[in-house]
Structure 1
Amino acid sequence: MKPFCFADGKIIPTESATIHPMDLGLIRGYGIFDFFRTVNQSPLFLEHYLDRFITSAEKTFLPLPYSREQLREIISVLIEKNDLTNGGLRMVLSGGVSENHFSPAEGKLFIFAESLSLPSEEKYQNGIKLLSLEYVRAIADIKTTNYTLPVWHSVNWKRLGAEDVLYHWNGWVSESSRSNFFIVKNGVLHTPDQHILLGITRKQILGIAKNVVIRPISLEEVWEADEAFISSTTKILLPVTQLDERKIGSGRPGPVTLDILEKFRKLERETVA
């Protein structure tokens, strides 16, 4: 965590940030957040992240007492004060302290600057393993702070050699715990359309990829896919070469996946140029 954050309506030392112990974010796990990267001190795809954060606040009935322009200004100051060349910024809006300790109230806005390490090059070159998990994330279209199940389940991941999970329900896959999911079959890219967070990286991939189909995808189709990958702000695009104990395709990152990864990296360079 970097030395300065935004809390209590001003820029303060990060170590001084506090939250009320009866805030719904703490006692009920109710709140929203968003996270984006900085590249060469430029916030990458910032307007898209602000769109989602503002919309999440509206959908969760949490007052956001700052305009888009004010949020931009706060973010700009934090990047400069923390000398955040290549890192991350985390916006958090808590559920607030309510009279009945249950209903959404006026929450507290935090914006933290963070150091950030992308996955190792080995993972991009060799791919990763996911574990299938029968689960549907609650109100998946909102980026809430409720990650109880994957945090609990993650204790097993390292032991089983996995990077993350792949959620599925009634035979249909949706997403990973912190990433969107894609498969490739016969050169065509497919990605689920239900029970997912509409990722910003996913949005960019849909814009640069060719032959994309957005539709329900069965777990059986994942087993039979030629390639698969996950996408997120902190991972960009990671090839998935194994699900549970079964290989996907050749068990190596495929050409369509690697081509999209290169196109995304080019887009990133052009966006912050």
Structure 2
Amino acid sequence: MKPFCFADGTIVPTESATLHPMDLGLIRGYGIFDFFRTVNYTPLFLENYLDRFITSAEKTFLPLPYSRAQLSEIIHLLIEKNNLEKGGLRMVLSGGISENHFSPAAGKLFIFAESLSLPSEEKYREGIKLLTLEYVRPIADIKTTNYTLPVWHSVNWKRLGAEDVLYHWNGWVSESSRSNFFIVKNGVLHTPNQHILLGITRKHILDMVKNAVIRPISLEEVWDADEAFISSTTKVLLPVTQLDERKIGNGKPGPVTMEILERFRKLEKEIVA
């Protein structure tokens, strides 16, 4: 965590930021957040992340007492104050202190600047393993702070050699715990359309790949896929070469996956040039 954050309406030392112990964010796990990267002091795709954060606040009935322009100004001030050439920024809006300890109230806005470590090059080169998990994330289209199940489940991931999970329900896959999911079959990119967060990295991948198909995808199709990968802010795009104990395709990152990764990295360079 970097030295300065935004809390209580101003930029303060991060160690001095506080949350009331009766805030719904703590006692009910109710709140929203968003996270984006900076490269060369530039917040990547900032307008897209602000869109989602503002929409999440509206959908969760949490008052957001700052305009888009004010949020953008605060973010740029934090980047400067923390000398955040390359790192992450996390916006959090808590559920507030509720009279009945249950209903959404006026919450507290925090914006934290963070150091960031991307996955190792070995993971991009060799691919990763996911574990299937029968689950649908609650109100999946909103980026809430409710990650209870995957945090609990993650205790087993390292022991099982896995990076994350792949959620599925009634035979249909949706997403990973912190990433969107894609498969490639016969050279065509496919991604689920239900029970998912509309990821910003996902959006830009779909903008690049014009013939991508957005539709329900069955677990059986994943087993039969030629390639698979996950996408997120912090991972960009990670090839998935194993699901549980079965290989995806030939068990190596595929050409379509690696081409999309290369194109996305080129896009980032063009933005910060």
TM-score range, shorter chain: over 0.9
1-side partners of 2:197 and 2:78: how far apart? 27
2-side partners of 1:211 and 1:129: how far apart? 27
For 2:130, the equivalent position in structure 1 comes to 130
- Whether 2:179 is the aligned partner of 1:179: answer yes
For 1:49, the equivalent position in structure 2 comes to 49
| TM-score, normalised with respect to structure 2 | 1.00
- Whether 2:60 is the aligned partner of 1:87: answer no
The aligned amino acid for 1:261 is L
For 1:149, the equivalent position in structure 2 comes to 149
For 2:119, the equivalent position in structure 1 comes to 119
2-side partners of 1:212 and 1:59: how far apart? 28
Q: CA deviation at 1:64?
A: 0.1
For 2:5, the equivalent position in structure 1 comes to 5
The aligned amino acid for 1:101 is H
Summarize deviations over 1:39-78 as a string: whole Å, max 9, x none.
0000000000000000000000000000000000000000
Summarize deviations over 1:143-183 as a string: whole Å, max 9, x none.
00000000000000000000000000000000000000000
1-side partners of 2:14 and 2:229: how far apart? 35
The aligned amino acid for 1:104 is P
**What SS does structure 1 have at the residue aligned with 2:228?**
strand
1-side partners of 2:174 and 2:272: how far apart? 31
For 2:257, the equivalent position in structure 1 comes to 257
**What SS does structure 2 have at the residue aligned with 1:35?**
strand
Q: CA deviation at 1:113?
A: 0.0
1-side partners of 2:3 and 2:209: how far apart? 39
Q: CA deviation at 1:211?
A: 2.3
Equivalences for 1:1-273 in 2 at 5 Å? Answer: 1-273=1-273
2-side partners of 1:52 and 1:271: how far apart? 20
**What SS does structure 2 have at the residue aligned with 1:93?**
strand
Summarize deviations over 1:7-43 as a string: whole Å, max 9, x none.
0000000000000000000000000000000000000
Which shifted more, 201-210 or 233-242? 201-210
Structure 2 unaligned segments of length 5 or more: list them.
Answer: none
Q: RMSD of aligned C-alpha atoms?
A: 0.4
Identity of aligned residues (%): 88
Task: Give the aligned length.
Answer: 273
Summarize deviations over 1:92-146 as a string: whole Å, max 9, x none.
0000001000000000000000000100000000000000000000000000000
1-side partners of 2:14 and 2:215: how far apart? 43
**What SS does structure 1 have at the residue aligned with 2:83?**
coil
The aligned amino acid for 2:16 is S
| TM-score, normalised with respect to structure 1 | 1.00
Q: CA deviation at 1:271?
A: 1.1
1-side partners of 2:106 and 2:230: how far apart? 35
2-side partners of 1:86 and 1:252: how far apart? 30
The aligned amino acid for 1:28 is R
Q: CA deviation at 1:210?
A: 4.0
2-side partners of 1:114 and 1:207: how far apart? 28
